[in-house]
């Protein structure tokens, strides 16, 4: 269920961003999508049987999404799959570290690279994935509120505050031990992002 909510709210967000930029309600709905994708990356990493295949799969989705992403939004930056891919690499690195003392410098360094390379959501995206790694329940919600407050101070945008609604749903699902299982063909979940961006780009340029 969560994956369908993520895809639909992301589609609404991107339609709003490209075709109806002044309809703020569409962007508010769209804030629900990214926390679900961030949580999905953590869950996918936690339960995958082959992390290398998972890394390569995300990498190629990021690659094939890049041109549709730039065409749809008419600007150059790295699409959000690069952010999720980078966060996945950080998760793997943190588990491979010989000492936990260097985990913070690793995360900060990776976040800086993500900001420098203009990945969508940047360090915010990485930190949100890490919140799902380390926290659950009310502590997770409070941590996300603090993260959103920092985002508000840095970017002067209140919209991201609405993303807490998705994290609230995830926290409730965790409390009731609901599994995050893909329902329906996996290719829809994997390739919805580049395909819907390509369609938006075609409509925009027509």
Residues in the chain: 206
Q: Are 144 and 164 in contact (CB under 8 A)?
A: yes
Which among 57, 75, 37, 64 is positioned nearest to 196, based on CA atoms?
64
What gap in Å lies between CA 184 and CA 180, rounded to an integer?
Answer: 13
Give me the pLDDT at residue 73, please. Answer: 94
Q: Which of 28-37, 38-47, 181-190, 197-206 has the lowest mean pLDDT?
A: 181-190
Q: Are 128 and 147 in contact (CB under 8 A)?
A: yes
Count of domains in the chain?
1
Summarize the confidence of residues 75-98 as an average pLDDT.
Answer: 94
**Quick one: pLDDT band at residue 3, thresholds 50, 70, 90?**
confident
Tokens of 52: 């290398």
Q: Which of 35-39, 46-50, 118-122, 173-177 has the lowest mean pLDDT?
A: 173-177
Q: What are phi and psi of 78, to 5 degrees?
A: -90, 135
Summarize the confidence of residues 194-204 as an average pLDDT.
Answer: 96
pLDDT, tens only, 146-195: 999 999 999 888 999 999 999 999 999 887 776 666 666 777 878 999 99
pLDDT, tens only, 107-131: 999 999 999 999 999 999 999 999 9
Helix, strand or coil, per DSSP, at residue 149: helix
Give me the pLDDT at residue 182, please. Answer: 60
Q: Are 57 and 33 in contact (CB under 8 A)?
A: no
Q: What are phi and psi of 23, to 5 degrees?
A: -90, 90
**Quick one: pLDDT band at residue 97, thresholds 50, 70, 90?**
confident
What gap in Å lies between CA 204 and CA 206, rounded to an integer?
Answer: 6
Which among 161, 104, 146, 129 is positioned nearest to 35, based on CA atoms?
129
- Secondary structure letter of residue 119 according to DSSP: B
Helix, strand or coil, per DSSP, at residue 78: strand
**Percentage of residues in the chain having pLDDT higher than 70:** 97
Domain region containing 15:
2-205
Summarize the confidence of residues 129-144 as an average pLDDT.
Answer: 96
Tokens of 153: 């101070």
Give me the pLDDT at residue 119, please. Answer: 96
């Amino acid at each position: 269920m969560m994956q369908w909510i993520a895809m639909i709210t992301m589609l609404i967000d991107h339609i709003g961003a490209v075709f109806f930029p002044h309809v703020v309600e569409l962007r508010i709905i769209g804030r629900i999508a990214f926390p679900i994708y961030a949580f999905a990356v953590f869950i996918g990493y936690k339960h995958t049987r082959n992390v290398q295949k998972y890394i390569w799969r995300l990498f190629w989705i990021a690659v094939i999404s890049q041109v549709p992403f730039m065409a749809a939004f008419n600007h150059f930056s790295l699409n959000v799959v690069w952010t999720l891919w980078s966060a996945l690499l950080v998760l793997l690195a943190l588990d491979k570290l010989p000492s936990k003392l260097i985990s913070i410098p690793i995360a900060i360094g990776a976040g800086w690279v993500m900001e420098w390379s203009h990945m969508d959501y940047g360090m915010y995206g990485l930190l949100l994935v890490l919140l799902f790694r380390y926290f659950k329940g009310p502590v997770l919600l409070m941590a996300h509120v603090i993260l959103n407050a920092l985002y508000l101070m840095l970017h002067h945008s209140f919209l991201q505050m609405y993303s807490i609604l998705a994290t609230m749903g995830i926290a409730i699902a965790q409390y009731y031990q609901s599994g995050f299982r893909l329902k329906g063909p996996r290719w829809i979940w994997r390739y919805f992002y580049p395909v819907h961006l390509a369609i938006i780009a075609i409509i925009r340029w027509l």
